Structure 1
Amino acid sequence: MLSAVRSCLLPIIRLYLQGFKALLVQLFSRPFGLPAMPRQDGKVAIVTGGGRGIGYEAVRHMAKLGAHVIIGGRDEQEGLEAVRRICEEYKEAKVEFTKLDLASLQSVRQFVQRFKERGLPLNLLVNNAGVMLVPEGRTEDGFEQHFGVNYLGHFLLTWLLLDTLKDSGKCGYFSRVVNVSSSAHHVGEIGLNDLNSCQSYSAHAAYCQSKLAQLLFSSHLHQELQRGGFPLSSCAVDPGMVDTALYRHLWTPLSLVQSAIARLLFRTPAEGAATVLFAALSPALEGECGGGYWANGRRVMTSQPTFDPQLRLSLWETSVQLLGLQ
């Protein structure tokens, strides 16, 4: 009984302590101001979850710079409204919406198939969409929701688009994969034998695990790309604590407190998107300078498990097996 209570409470305490620490750091540091980025004419980008929040601001800025941006999202009405707003603001914007449900592997495959049929290049893939603290449940394919949406859906999406990303990169302008992670990875643990949280479920532990998994994937992918000499880099970004709908599944009393605090202390979606855009567009991160983990406009250290090459490889191989890839 005591063990069950401990396994339930410990992830909650760890996550909220990490959140408090992240908020303190944020309070005493000036939000990163995105410097002027070069034009992106002729470049094609895919941003998951680009219909609102950080994703929307990233799409909006890329479109302003001339990129052709495809929003991949589950909510068609929200996505089309985002396209309308951006095109109203920038008359020449090339923005569109395509249905993508990361909780469905079939939807991911259909999205990629539709994209590849168009014969477009792909210069930027921003894996931004995510869920946090959702009630216990399974994706269409039977995976725990945090693991399935935040990590496994993006793993499959990236894997299926790798050839196009590689072919679109060139010397002087690498293609880039940007994975939006979180400081929550610091308190995450990877249970390779229970990635689906079947033995015991904690929404807090599952969320932290998914964010750590994203980081391990991003790091291993970048290492493999460098080893193969491909004109493609992979990095991860912590956008900070941002006032978005991501927190809507908090326990009701905490949600009320969070809503009040967020207006005063959290960053705006545009401020949260600044480091995502820097990682995706900055010439300073070209080629060998790419990769790593970025927060508030600078490269920062990650948690100890991310430095374990065997853990990175084991998670990669397990993911490939779960998805039936070769």
Structure 2
Amino acid sequence: MRLLAFILPVIRLYLVGVKVLLYQLLNKSFSLPVFPKQNGRVAIVTGGAKGMGYETARHLMSLGMHVVIAGNSEEEGVAAVKKIQKEKNEGKVEFLYINLASLKSIRQFVQKFKDRGLPLHVLVNNAGVMLVPEKKTEDGFELQFGVNYLGHFLLTNLLLDTLKKSGTADSCARIITVSSATHYGGIITLDDLQGRLCYSSHGAYSQSKLALVLFTYCLQQRLTARGFPITANAVDPGMVNTDLYQNLCSPAQLVKRPVAWLLFRTPAQGASTSIYGAASPEMEGVGGCYLYNGRRTQSSETSYDEDLQAELWKESCALVGLQDEGHRID
């Protein structure tokens, strides 16, 4: 049974991967239209120092936004800022340290940002890890669940009050959360979210990405119910040639190299749907969507389970300690 529990997530993930590659073989990557300038708007992009996060930060800054790159490597963050600044666009870009594997670091980041007195119009939850060996965060959570999902869950909730103040009825603040097609094969087991019974790096990754979609839908329902000027959408970037694949096993790495060269999207192409969700006039006031290749599409059947959304939200609040801090949208 343990062997089966380990193998099934691997099969599900790679089947999803094959479907995505077939789609990318037969369909062109979404091309971003020209968006109006958005001077004065402030954005935070987690994992914005490299890969899709870098391309997202770079493009939002080119639109005139003040972009805060949030990452766990000051060296990479400072280098990314210098590189973007060379393009001499109208916007601003800076780096602030955050470690999404530490609840303390997340709270410190939010406090530093709030101390600046800046508004916040766009939050892009982009950072993530994939297929890592079994490890735990500083707070004892399974690493992929902790970084990809719980870290962004806490970050988003702690920034909601700033987002509420920054959005208006005709210009909503926007939350963009990067999920993955792997969520279609994800399974949420509420009594074993940490994968302690039988750890599978493939299953843990798929679970974290499904959790992000469930969170996005639940968040949008709660924001709408209270009439807050914020929209929340999930994004699927497709299969993109980034460093995320460094944890593939050796045989998979050998196969991945030629396949990636032929069929994977570039980081800029992968970032295009995140940028669309964050900046497109077409997405004004539109929330609760799953965006793929620049279009709204259906996410997994499980992701629309409102009871599961609510249960996961409640459990997540307990795990990160939000139940006593008044940040929940009840």
TM category (shorter chain) comes to: over 0.9
Match of 1:36 among 14, 20, 34: 34
Q: Quote the RMSD (CA, aligned, Å).
A: 0.8
- Say which SS state the counterpart of residue 319 (structure 2) adopts: helix
Q: Deviations over 1:81-121 (max 9, x none)?
A: 10010001125441000111100111100000000001100
Aligned equivalents of 1:156, 1:52: Cα separation in 2:
23
Q: Compute the displacement of 1:248 (Å).
A: 0.4
Question: Does 2:260 align with 1:262?
Answer: yes
1:7 is aligned to 2:5: yes
- Deviation at 1:208? 0.2
Instruction: Give the partner amino acid of 2:288.
Output: G
Residue aligned with 2:272, SS: helix
Of 319, 322, 325, 2:322 maps to: 325
CA–CA separation in structure 2 for the residues paired with 1:68 and 1:198: 41
Matches within 5 A, 1:8-87: 8-87=6-85
How far 1:226 moved relative to its partner? Answer: 0.7
Q: Which runs of 5+ in 2 are unaligned?
A: 324-330
% same residue: 56
Letter in 2 for 1:154: H
2: distance between equivalents of 1:308 and 1:4? Answer: 27
- 1:147 matched to 2:182: no
Could you tell me which residue of structure 2 aligns to residue 311 of structure 1? 308
Contact persistence 2:234–2:291 (CA under 8 A):
yes
Does residue 235 of structure 2 align to residue 210 of structure 1?
no
C-alpha distance in structure 2 between counterparts of 1:167 and 1:145, whole Å: 32
Q: Residue 132 of structure 1 contacts residue 246 of structure 1 at CA under 8 Å; is this kept in 2? A: yes
| Aligned residue in 2 for 1:193 | 191
Task: Check whether the contact 1:11–1:202 (CA below 8 A) recurs between aligned residues.
Answer: yes
Written as runs of structure 1 = structure 2, the 5 A alignment for 1:94-173 is 94-173=92-171
User: 1:166-194 CA deviation, whole Å, 9 max, x = no partner?
Assistant: 11000211000000000000000001000
The 2-side partners of 1:184 and 1:190 are apart by: 13
Are the aligned partners of 2:64 and 2:89 in contact in 1 as well (CA < 8 Å)?
A: no
* Aligned-pair CA distance for 1:9: 0.8
Q: 3-state SS of the aligned residue for 1:193?
A: helix
Following the alignment from structure 1 to structure 2, what is the Cα–Cα distance between the partners of residues 25 and 248? 23
Q: Which residue of 2 aligns with 1:174?
A: 172
SS at match of 2:44: strand
Question: Are 1:86 and 1:93, in contact at CA under 8 Å, matched by a contact in 2?
Answer: no
CA separation in 2, counterparts of 1:307 and 1:218? 10
Shift of 1:211: 0.2
Cα separation, 1, equivalents of 2:31 and 2:19? 22
SS in 2 for 1:89: coil
SS at 1:33 equivalent: coil
Distance of 2:121 and 2:212 partners within structure 1: 20
TM-fit CA distance, 1:290: 2.8
Q: Contact 2:63–2:90 (CA<8 Å) still a contact in 1?
A: no
Q: What is the alpha-carbon distance in structure 1 between the residues aligned to residue 55 and residue 83 of structure 2?
A: 11
Q: Which deviates the most, 86-95 or 138-147?
A: 86-95
- How far apart in 1 are the matches of 2:78 and 2:41? 21
Q: Which runs of 5+ in 1 are unaligned?
A: none
CA distance in 1, matches of 2:257, 2:153: 32
What is the distance in 2 between the residues matched to 1:77 and 1:170?
36
SS at match of 2:309: helix
Q: Please report how far the alpha carbon of residue 255 of structure 1 lies from its aligned counterpart in structure 2 after TM superposition.
A: 1.1
Q: What SS is found at the alignment partner of 1:69?
A: strand
Contact 2:148–2:209 under 8 Å retained in 1? yes
Q: What amino acid does structure 1 have at the position aligned with 2:66?
A: H
Map 1:293-308 to 2 at 5 A. 293-308=290-305
Quote the Cα distance in structure 2 between the aligned partners of 1:50 and 1:308.
Answer: 31
- The code of the aligned residue for 1:309 comes to E
